[in-house]
Chain A
Amino acid sequence: MSATQSRVRATAPGRGATAQIPSRRRSKRVGYGYWWWSLPALVLTIVTVYITTASGAFFAFTNWTGVGTFDFVGITNFVNIFKTPELIGALVNTLVLAFGFVVLTNVFGLLFALALNRTLKTRYLLRTLVFMPVVLSPVAVSFIWKFIFDFNGPLNQILGAVGLKSLQTAWLASPSLAIVCILVVLVWQSIGFVMVTYLAGLATVPPELEEAAALDGAGVWRRFRSVTVPMIQPSIAIATTLTLIQGLRVFDQVMALTGGGPSHATETLATEIYNQTFTYQQFGFGAAMALVLSVLILVFTVVQQSITRDRSQIGD
């Protein structure tokens, strides 16, 4: 029994215990206070998150167009999602972007964190520079990169200037390159965030432990694998979880860079949800897609959590 529970029980006498009234009042105030304090946030969360989500899930089984009445259509919307080639393409693009994003941001973020962790004198300046894109608006960043990738933009001009004119292309109009361009922008902007997460983890690794391992003859790779990685396991779990979720719901960058083009080649589930719901006014169908995306995020997050959980804590 916790100390709080003991105190509450000890100061909660039955009716008629007049001698203990001041104590009881104080106890009730404290007890009710805990409950009431959380109520506004709880109600707000239930109303704005859970009820709206449940409403969205409800409309996923209807043919509602956003106005007027609707009919229940069962699982028709879900069947149509998986029967529509462009939506399958959007699902594949979502997965490609999400996993590419997780791998690349975490690899580069960790490399930057390791490089800027201790020895470098300019590490604080460099950390700031690497982190800077994180604070910028994703849409603004995407428009800048759109300008860079433009056919008449700086990238092609540089290629031309260094004698690589044959490589000049309409980057965002190429079905194969456009999604790579989006991935580049996503990774570029998020490396700083992942780096900071890993820097926090690396701060918990005692230098003495690494020195002891080095004295025992462990090389750089062995020290990294056997000392650093286990110590920063919580950071890995956090960074990969957040980047996975961010990657699965990517929207801003796709809309700003390609609008889902060329010819739907870079559509993701999030952009298709927007198109179906707001452009084509298929609210029911859009809600079904949103539900699929939510389930997808939930499943992948659970799987990812089970993969990256700190196994050293099992059995504690």
Chain B
Amino acid sequence: MSQSTTTRIRRAAAIAAVAAVGVSLAACSGGASGSGSGSGGGSSAKEPQSFTFAFSEANTKDNSLEQVATAFEKLHKGVKITIQKLPAESVGQAIATRVQGGNAPDVFAAESGIGQVNAIQPWAKAGLLLPITDPAVTTALKPAGLSQFQYGGKTYAVSRGSGLNGIIWNADAAKSIGVNLTDSSTFQDVLSGCAAAKAKGKSLFGLAGAVPPNPGILAQIIATSTVYGPDQNWNTERAAGKVKFATTAGWKQALEAIQTMYKQGCFQPGATGAGFDALTNGASSGQFFGFFAPGGAAASVNAASGGHVHLTVLPLPSPSGTTYASVSSDQVVAASAKTKSPKLVQQFLSYIAGPDGQKVVSVGVGYPVGTKDASALPDTYKPVASILTSPNVRSFPSIEWTNGKISNDLGAGVQGILTGQKTVAQVLDQLDTDWG
């Protein structure tokens, strides 16, 4: 293969990577369960056999939602699903505006919980979402943690699948400079890898430091091991006021670990001011070998590269003690309470939550909710099969946080730590203030 061809492939893969990262990072947290009531649409025997379905795609190969719609149409003759593709950068805001403005699509992509601008629970509370009455949906969602999809005991969304939040890793390229990270690597291995990459004039990781979700997801990935590994109920205890960010050693360790990585040159030069475009340039030029994102990004990049790139997913080794994998199922599909086809829409959501639908739709996220068999995991997840089927798995931390400002300030706070604006203690104090 010629150099120019290789460069073109790398560039195409990198562009796809960044688009995938953008979408994935925008979809990386959820919220908490609540109580109350929501309104729902009724059913009618003569309701229209068509509905609109709005979502975004990271690239042309990231079409799992479109495929699940097509599969549903094939199963139900006469049903017409009108796809509305929205820009990936603003999909959350666009859907939030439409739902709150009473102009929601019949069915749309959203986030579970409460912690994002397009999270479902505030809308469910306001009666804007269609409750899902099919008990099979509730059963299917249970392995992912039912509370994030519910409000007032009713289910309002179905998951697109489960995925690991970690390192999107180019193992082949890293091996070329003698770095080999696996799910059993240590944090010291990471730092050694950083030194090895730096010696070759490269960086081990790319970081979009100027985009808060990126340093934010890094902090949460590490905290999964340092905070939620030892104390699985930390969020519950925080809600009860028994613990705080500022007084939890694991949170301090997580932020200090990022500080250490920065000082050791793990991130590309200029990482603190970098956006997703820097990830594009860095990945296309082989400047670094991994970045931090939800695992669906790996499959999306691989598909977009036409098989020329083989990215996999890895957990980031814990800076202290056991490494835990951060797994979430927070990318969801929900429906408007105002839909004129509530019965048909419920059938569609049931299909997505069911085994056939999950098989199609989960490709864009990772793997079907409730997957326990390691052999059923997609190729990108093979390197982490052992940890995913072990007890060392925790949910993504912010899913149960009380609002989106906490995760946003965590990301901005990490940037502040790296630029010297803030101390670890100041950032943790801010998170406690945000919690309310």
Interface on A for B, CB 8 Å cutoff?
65-68, 146, 150-152, 170-175, 258-259, 261-265, 278-281
Chain B nearest CB, measured from A85 CB (Å): 9
For the complex, give the distance between the alpha carbons of A278 and B128 in Å: 17
B122 within 8 A of A: yes
- 18 A-B pairs, CB-CB below 8 angstroms? A66-B100, A67-B123, A151-B269, A171-B273, A173-B210, A173-B272, A173-B274, A173-B415, A173-B419, A174-B273, A259-B212, A262-B210, A262-B421, A263-B413, A263-B419, A263-B422, A280-B403, A280-B405
Q: A254 to B154: give the CA distance in the assembly, Å.
A: 41
Give residues 275-317 of B contacting A (CB, 8 Å): 275, 277-278, 281
Task: Tell which of A66, A263, A280 touches B415, judged by Cβ atoms closer than 8 Å.
Answer: A263
Which chain A residues lie closer than 8 Å to B420 at the CB level? 175
Contact: B421 with A265, CB < 8 Å? yes
Would you call B125 an interface residue if the criterion is a C-beta within 8 Å of the partner chain's C-beta atoms? yes
Does B239 sit at the interface, judged by CB under 8 A? no
- Quick check: is B211 within 8 A (CB to CB) of the other chain? yes
Shortest Cβ distance from residue B378 to the other chain A in the assembled complex, whole angstroms: 33
Interface membership of B117, Cβ < 8 A: yes
In the bound complex, CA of A172 to CA of B413 (Å): 16
Q: How far is the CA of A170 from the CA of B267 in the complex (A)?
A: 14
B125's contact among A68, A150, A170, A259, by CB below 8 Å, is which?
A68
Known: A175-B419, A262-B419. 20 other contacts (CB 8 A): A65-B122, A67-B122, A67-B128, A151-B270, A151-B274, A152-B281, A170-B272, A170-B273, A171-B273, A172-B210, A173-B273, A173-B419, A174-B273, A259-B211, A261-B412, A262-B273, A263-B416, A263-B419, A263-B421, A265-B421
Distance (whole angstroms) from the CB of B407 to the closest CB of chain A = 11
The listed residue (B126, B281, B412) touching A264 by CB distance below 8 A is B412
Tell me whether A258 and B210 are in contact in the complex, defined as CB-CB below 8 angstroms, given that A151-B274, A171-B273 are known contacts: yes
Question: Which residues of chain A are within 8 angstroms of B419 by Cβ–Cβ distance?
Answer: 173-175, 262-263
Binary contact track B121-151/A, C-beta < 8 Å → 1, others 0: 0110110100000000000000000000000
Q: How far is the CB of B272 from chain A (nearest CB, A)?
A: 4
Give the shortest distance, in Å, between B176 (CB) and chain A (any CB). 23
Kindly list the 7 A-B residue pairs having the minimum CB-CB distance in the complex, ordered from nearest: A151-B270, A173-B273, A263-B416, A170-B273, A67-B126, A173-B272, A68-B126
The answer on a CB contact under 8 Å between A170 and B415 is no
Instruction: Assess A261 versus B210: contact at CB under 8 Å? Given A172-B273, A278-B93, A280-B405.
Output: yes
- Main secondary structure on A side of the interface with B: loop
For the complex, what is the distance from the CA of A281 to the CA of B147, rounded to whole Å?
22
Chain B interface, DSSP helix/strand/loop, else mixed: helix
Interface residues of B in 73-126 (CB under 8 A from A): 93, 96, 100, 117, 122-123, 125-126
Q: Using Cβ atoms and an 8 Å threshold, which residues of chain B touch A265?
A: 416, 421
Check A151–B273 contact: CB distance below 8 A.
Answer: yes
B403-436 contacts to A (CB < 8 Å): 403-405, 408, 412-413, 415-416, 419-422
What is the number of residues of chain B that contact chain A, defined by CB distance less than 8 Å? Answer: 34
- Determine the residue in chain B with the shortest Cβ distance to A69: B126
With known contacts A151-B269, A262-B210, A280–B416 Cβ distance under 8 A? no
A170 touching B211 in the complex, CB below 8 Å, given contacts A67-B128, A261-B412, A280-B404? no
Q: Which residue of A lies closest to B419 (CB)?
A: A262
For B413, list chain A residues within 8 Å (CB): 263
Asked, given contacts A67-B100, A68-B126, A262-B210, whether A281 binds B117 with beta carbons under 8 Å apart, the answer is yes
Residue pair B408, A279 in contact (C-beta under 8 Å): yes
| A280 CA / B434 CA spacing, docked (Å) | 11
Q: Least Cβ distance of A90 to chain B in Å?
A: 13
Residues of A within 8 A of B117 (CB): 278-279, 281
Indicate if B209 sits at the interface (CB-CB under 8 A). Answer: yes
Give A312 to B295 CA distance when docked, in angstroms: 71
Chain A residues, Cβ within 8 Å of B126: 67-68
On whether A262 and B270 interact (CB within 8 A), knowing A172-B210, A173-B210, A280-B404, the answer reads no
Beyond A66-B100, A262-B421, A279-B408, whether A173 also contacts B270 by CB under 8 A is yes
Assess whether B93 is in contact with A175, with CB atoms less than 8 Å apart. no
List the B side residues contacting A150 at CB < 8 Å. 270, 273, 277-278
Q: Smallest distance from the beta carbon of B87 to chain A beta carbons, Å?
A: 14
List of B residues within 8 angstroms of A262 by Cβ: 209-210, 272-273, 412, 415-416, 419, 421
The CA of A170 and the CA of B416, in the complex, are separated in Å by 14
Question: In the bound complex, do residue A173 and residue B209 qualify as a contact, i.e. CB atoms below 8 Å apart?
Answer: yes
Give the docked Cα–Cα distance between A65 and B275 (Å): 30
Q: Measured between C-beta atoms, what is the minimum distance from A132 to chain B in Å?
A: 25
Q: How far is the CB of A23 from chain B (nearest CB, A)?
A: 54
Set of chain B residues within 8 Å of A175, measured between Cβ atoms: 419-421
For A261, list chain B residues within 8 Å (CB).
210, 212, 412, 415
Residues of B within 8 A of A65 (CB): 122
Quote the shortest CB–CB distance from A65 to chain B (angstroms).
7
CB distance from B425 to the nearest CB of A (A): 14
A46, B277: Cα distance in complex, Å: 44
Chain B CB count within 10 A is highest, among A259, A262, A278, for A262
In whole Å, how far is A79's beta carbon from the nearest beta carbon of chain B? Answer: 15
The smallest C-beta distance from A146 to any residue of chain B, in angstroms, reads 8
Task: Please measure, in the bound complex, the distance between the C-alpha atom of A175 and the C-alpha atom of B209, giving whole angstroms.
Answer: 13
In Å, the complex CA distance between A173 and B277 comes to 15
Taking the closest CB of chain B, its distance from the CB of A82, in whole angstroms, is: 16
Q: Among the interface residues A67, A146, A174, A280, which one has the most CB atoms of the partner chain B within 10 A?
A: A67
> With the chains together, A146 CA to B270 CA distance in Å?
13
B242-279 CB contact bits vs A (8 Å, 1 = yes)? Answer: 00000000000000000000000000011011110110
- Which residues from B are CB-within-8-Å of A278? 93, 96, 117
Bound Cα distance from A200 to B122, whole angstroms: 54
Please give the distance in Å from A206's CB to the nearest CB on chain B: 52
Query: Complex Cα distance A172/B275, Å?
Result: 11
Alpha-carbon distance A67/B99, docked complex (angstroms): 10
Specify which of A66, A173, A175, A278 lies most central, judged by the most chain B CB atoms within 10 Å of its CB.
A173
CB distance from B85 to the nearest CB of A (A): 22
- Give, as a whole number of angstroms, the nearest-CB distance from A139 to chain B: 13
Cα distance A150–B271 in the bound complex, in angstroms = 10
Query: What is the minimal beta-carbon distance from A314 to any residue of chain B, in angstroms?
Result: 49
Most buried by A among B209, B270, B408: B270
- Chain B's closest residue to A171 (CB) is B273
Closest to A147 in B: B277
Complex Cα spacing A251 to B201, Å: 38
Bound complex: CA A279 to CA B409 (Å): 12
Query: Shortest beta-carbon distance, B409 to chain A, in Å?
Result: 8
Chain A residues whose C-beta falls within 8 Å of the C-beta of B277 in the assembled complex: 150
Establish whether residues A263 and B412, one from each chain, have CB atoms under 8 Å apart when the complex forms.
yes
